[in-house]
């Protein structure tokens, strides 16, 4: 596979430049290990933001002095500041505290814990320095990640350690590609071609993994290789998937948007987008009904569902089952069979709150959460205060209402207003089906 190191290096440099400019950032803190990855990252950051804004840090912790010497070589080569924070005493103090637990654990059972606490200590030190330099230099310093694609694919990193950073620059490049970028950026050869290791365990990366980086690259790019090696890499990848995604319990708050949607226009989609973007609910169910406030729709239920499907995605569901139910409270009761009552949020416009007390079985509706979206400068709170269950209302006062009428669109689908407020796909559907003529 052909790899253009010059092009890719310049692309990454520009990516960093653009990110720093866009976010008004100043500097970078990089853990310089004495290996190729951190050296290439240092070279990239110097090119992107200037050597005066790059701080390298060595963080020895019962590690080899040779690695620190190589880190000094890299720092001098690129002219960056290099600070040293020896974490050995911190690590030893931590181990002393563990021994006080008197759990009588064999040393062999502590090997993995001992190895992984070191990059976690390093991460804490790097973020401490980033905050310190941000204050000293009057601008934000980021912690820069140094992992490459090959390491990441097999999960060869420490969760809460070298996995934690603010920006990643090598994560789309395999080991051989990183070396080619390093050659282009003139990384010292002694460092660039050095056998990769964590500098902590006394073993090379490949010894620890049980496979070579060359094999991992072949696997990533689907090249020919032994089945036994392929199986090893697959197992490494699968066993470490948990490192990439942090599971978190989340309530499935559901917005319920009922109406004729005859047709669906940007006023409707603006409401949905606002509610989702502000995390008021996690998804919205849109329900085109047969009749709404005595307004019989001109388009059939199927046609309105078809038009709504243009806006559907993983957070916007278009109902095809609840469309013939006459009253909103009945729709909510049906949804209650799938969702807890307090997870359901009925979405209504401010014009509806004026006559909300006239809705069929309003007392039942008041048991749900109700989102009221501002329009026409209506004093929403004045009407909400009429109800006993005021805490159930979520009032959106700062909503930028889109003043558009479905009736006006239906009356003249060829007007400028219709073209302005209708999705192009909806407009095309209306014309293809000769609607509203």
129-184 pLDDT tens trace: 999 999 999 999 999 999 999 999 999 999 999 999 999 999 999 999 999 999 99
The C-alpha atoms of residue 347 and residue 286 are separated, in whole angstroms, by 10
The C-alpha atoms of residue 327 and residue 435 are separated, in whole angstroms, by 26
pLDDT at position 200 is 59
Buried b / exposed e along 238-271 (16+ C-beta atoms within 10 A) = eebeeeeeeeeeeeebbbbbbbbbbbbbbbbbbb
pLDDT at position 392 is 87
Ordered by where they begin, the domains of the chain are 5-243 (3.40.50.620), 254-432 (3.40.50.620)
pLDDT at position 294 is 60
pLDDT at position 291 is 65
Which residues lie closer than 8 Å to 232 by C-beta, 6 or more apart?
Answer: 210, 211
Residue carrying the six token digits 């849109």: 286
pLDDT at position 293 is 55
Helix (H, G, I), strand (E, B) or coil at 62: coil
pLDDT at position 295 is 65
The C-alpha atoms of residue 434 and residue 428 are separated, in whole angstroms, by 10
Q: Is the pTM of this model over 0.75?
A: no
For the chain, list residues with pLDDT below 70: 1, 198-202, 291-295
pLDDT at position 199 is 62
């Amino acid at each position: 596979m052909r790899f253009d190191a010059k092009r890719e290096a310049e692309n990454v440099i520009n990516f960093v430049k653009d990110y720093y400019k866009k976010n008004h950032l100043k500097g970078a803190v990089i853990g310089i290990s004495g290996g190729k990855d951190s050296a290439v990252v240092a070279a990239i950051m110097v090119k992107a933001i200037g050597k005066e804004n790059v701080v390298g840090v060595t963080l020895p912790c019962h590690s080899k002095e040779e690695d620190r010497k190589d880190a000094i070589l890299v720092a001098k080569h690129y002219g960056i500041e290099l600070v040293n924070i020896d974490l050995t005493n911190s690590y030893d103090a931590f181990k002393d505290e563990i021994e006080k637990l008197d759990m009588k654990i064999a040393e062999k059972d502590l090997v993995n814990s001992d190895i992984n606490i070191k990059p976690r200590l390093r991460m804490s030190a790097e973020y401490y320095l980033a905050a310190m330099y941000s204050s000293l230099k009057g601008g934000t310093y980021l912690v820069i990640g140094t992992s490459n694609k090959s390491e990441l694919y097999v999960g060869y990193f420490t969760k809460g350690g070298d996995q934690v950073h603010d920006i990643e620059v090598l994560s789309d490049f395999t080991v051989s590609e990183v070396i080619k970028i390093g050659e282009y950026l003139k990384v010292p050869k002694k460092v660039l071609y050095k056998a990769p290791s964590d500098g902590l365990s006394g073993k090379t990366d490949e010894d620890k993994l049980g496979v070579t980086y060359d094999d991992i690259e072949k696997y990533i790019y689907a090249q020919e290789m032994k089945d036994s090696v392929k199986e090893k890499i697959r197992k490494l990848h699968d066993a470490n998937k948990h490192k990439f995604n942090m599971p978190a319990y989340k309530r499935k708050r559901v917005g319920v948007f009922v109406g004729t949607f005859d047709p669906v226009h940007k006023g409707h989609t603006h409401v949905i987008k606002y509610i989702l973007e502000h995390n008021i609910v996690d998804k919205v169910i849109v329900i085109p009904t047969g009749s709404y406030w005595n307004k019989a729709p001109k388009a059939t239920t199927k046609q309105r569902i078809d038009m709504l499907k243009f806006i559907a995605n993983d957070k916007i569901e278009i109902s095809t089952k609840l469309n013939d139910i006459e009253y909103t409270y009945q729709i909510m009761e049906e949804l209650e069979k799938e969702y807890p009552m307090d997870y359901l949020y009925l979405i209504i416009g401010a014009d509806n709150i004026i006559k909300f007390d006239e809705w069929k079985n309003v007392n039942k509706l008041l048991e749900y959460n109700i989102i009221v979206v501002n329009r026409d400068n209506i004093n929403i709170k004045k009407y909400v205060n009429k109800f006993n269950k005021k805490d159930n209302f979520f009032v959106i006062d700062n909503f930028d209402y889109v003043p558009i009428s479905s009736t006006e669109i239906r009356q003249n689908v060829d007007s400028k207003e219709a073209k302005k407020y209708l999705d192009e796909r909806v407009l095309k559907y209306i014309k293809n089906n000769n609607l509203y003529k």
